[in-house]
Copies of this chain bind each other. A is one copy, B any other.
Amino acid sequence: MNIAALLTSAGINIGLCILLLSLYSILRKQPTNYDVYFARRLAQVQGERHDPFCFERFVPSASWLVKAWETTEDELLGDAGLDALVFIRIIVFSIRIFAIATVVGIFMVLPLNYYGQEMQHKQIPSESLGVFTISNVKEGSEWFSAHVVALYVITGSACMLLYFEYKSLTSMRLAHITQSPTNPSHFAVLVRSIPWSPKESYSDSVRNYFTKYYAATYLSHQMVHLCGTVRKLVSSATKIYKVIISTSIEQGSKPILRCGLCGTTTSSFKILSSEESTKPGNELKSIESGSRENECSAAFVFFRNRYSAYIASKVLQSSNPMLWVTDLAPEPHDVYWSNLCIPYRQLWFRRIATLIATVVFMFVFLGPVAFVQGLTEMDHLTKMFPFIRGLLKRPYINRVVTGYLPSVVLLLFLYTVPPVMMLLAELEGSISRSGRKKSACTKVLYFTIWNVFFVNVLSGTYLKQLDSLFVVKDIPRTLGQAVPASASFFMTYVFTSGWTSLAVEMMQPLVLIYNNFLRYILQKDPPVSSAMSFPYHTELPRVLLFGLIGFCCAVLAPLILPFLVIYFSIAFLVYKNQFINVYVTKYDTGGQFWPIAHNATIFSLVLAQIIAMGVFGLKQSTAALGCTMPLLICTVLFNEYCRQRFFPVFNNTAAEVLMEMDWQDEQSGRLQEIHQKLQSAYCQFTLVSDDFCKAGHSVTDETAESVQDPHSIVVHLE
């Protein structure tokens, strides 16, 4: 590939992007597409659609760009949460570091690469891209010192920027915890693996355990129920409820009903006296047994203050570590209910199984890749499908099948990755949606780095070269050989997969087509409130992959850097726009994606250094090789320092912070109100009728005495 071809490719892709973005700027103004492009805003403000027909609607405009540009970080934080801000900060970090890298690369490294060999240069447009890479520098040349300096400058700046980002994000996370409106998850602990006892129900076990060991701070609890069977319970409970209502109305007193699923104790119900409750005995017994069977060995336990809840979640409760396992509860919207019922003793096994499945999937994916590469060879195809021999004789179809089909097939295969990883993350047994997404994000990241970066670097003969990746000491050499050679591939990858994917992200073609298909073909209204939450598990790995490519090529083939800066700049605007208009924030991890990005960046830096050392080794420049060694060590030490200094804050909350929040609540007298809200915060079955849901669940106040009464319906239904 020469410069002209590169620029042509860049031009085509720029044109495509501009076309798509213009199309977007028109489509977004069509009221029928509002639920695609303003899903978030519609979710906030229901109804009120203006539909004026005017010419302006069909003129491309850049207003969305201006709007995205003008949105400040504070607005974004307020609108879309800390995770969104972290994502944008990752992009900003990338813009900064690659702007620095571009300056260093273009003005220091590129000329050296270009004049590295004493050779007759052609005119620049027809120059091969190879002469701009480090491969063009003579063996043992002293010019490699410039490459080492560039590596030092880039790594140093990256570490400095990372440090300040980590520091500011840490304080933002602290602010997010302290300044956010009262979060019920701060007061709640998820208890799993409640021991089975033949004498008492799980609910009784929980109450007895926590009133024994956490008497001063235990407030109440709420059992988790089996998902499938609870419907039956709900229906029969409703039946009983009606029976009781009718019975009690006859006798002139109102009953109390506690569904144990959610809701507060409503004041309109009074405690049912025991002689009354004995009347509908048969139905109650069936529910009693049903209720016990339907309870999972998991419960949310609420505490009187944050600090107690935090402590209960961090401490080993029982001398059998597989019993009474406590975790900080996720936010109510974040709870992944169906995973809560997984027996805790399965979890370690599930974790290992999904780990193995992920690794297997990563390597099995080489199969389709090899198959697709086989497609490009006609003979294989005609042997496999003899009937298409006639078709393939036509040159146009031939070109499509061998030239276009493979990449489409590969792309389709790649589109299966995030759902598969999401499924694996779900099987892992994460208790929260955000945890599942975080886990999927990590898995997709590993997958992407392996299957896009490494496999492409070693492409062509990579199935043979894969072996050499297992020879530890040969890795730098192999990569040093392969990476500069695949620089041109990565450049086109930045255009096609990078730029265009951003335009596609803006267009949301799938949702657009689906909605219009519903509206015009099936003549149905598209579903309301279909606003999705941001797919961190597909977007973050992509952004980090481009970072990895950038760091690895920065010194070896700096020509890629300006294109990357363009990519990140567009990404900055596009994702900001999407956060403001399209995606809703249903739950927030409080910036826990940052450590993933930090670690990926450090990995990229270390990999870049190892590859550079491989190149220096191949080019027999031992001085450069030796000088890179300390940089590698310093990078690893820097990472370790950050892990010590900042990472614990992303995993834990400091005791003093929680205590101060508790004191503030106590002083302001809001504690009672918070406790009240807690009771209805976690609602497992949102389809349950409100009537039913508003019935209370056990509270350790005076009303809880009725719980002790074996005849009371309270016990049966909890």
Contacts and interface: CB of A to CB of B under 8 A. Distances in A.
A654 B470 contact: no
A656 B348 contact: no
A656 B321 CA distance: 12
Given A311-B315, A316-B653, A352 B640 contact: yes
A656 B311 contact: no
Interface stretch (A550-558, A570-578, A643-651): A643-651
Given A352-B637, A471-B470, A649 B319 contact: yes
A255 to B, nearest CB: 37
Contact of A317 (B316, B647, B654): B654
Contact of A321 (B310, B319, B637, B645): B645
A316 B471 contact: no
Interface in A601-648: 637, 640-641, 644-648
**Most B CB within 10 A of own CB, among A471, A473, A646:** A471
Contacts of A637: 349, 352
B470 A640 contact: no
Given A348-B644, A637-B349, A640-B348, A655 B321 contact: no
B640 A321 contact: no
A213 to B, nearest CB: 6
A598 to B, nearest CB: 15
Given A348-B640, A352-B637, A352-B640, A648 B316 contact: yes
A124 to B, nearest CB: 44
A357 interface: no
Nearest to A349: B637
Contacts of A348: 640-641, 644
Interface in A506-542: none
Interface in A252-306: none
A656 B349 CA distance: 27
A644 B322 contact: yes
B317 A655 contact: yes
A657 B352 contact: no
A311 B314 CA distance: 9
Contacts of A686: none
**Most B CB within 10 A of own CB, among A472, A654, A655:** A655
A14 interface: no
Nearest to A171: B319
A44 interface: no
Contact of A318 (B213, B316, B322, B656): B656
7 contacts: A311-B315, A315-B652, A316-B648, A322-B645, A348-B644, A352-B637, A471-B471
Given A322-B644, A470-B473, 10 more contacts: A213-B655, A314-B315, A316-B653, A316-B654, A317-B654, A318-B656, A319-B657, A348-B640, A467-B473, A470-B472
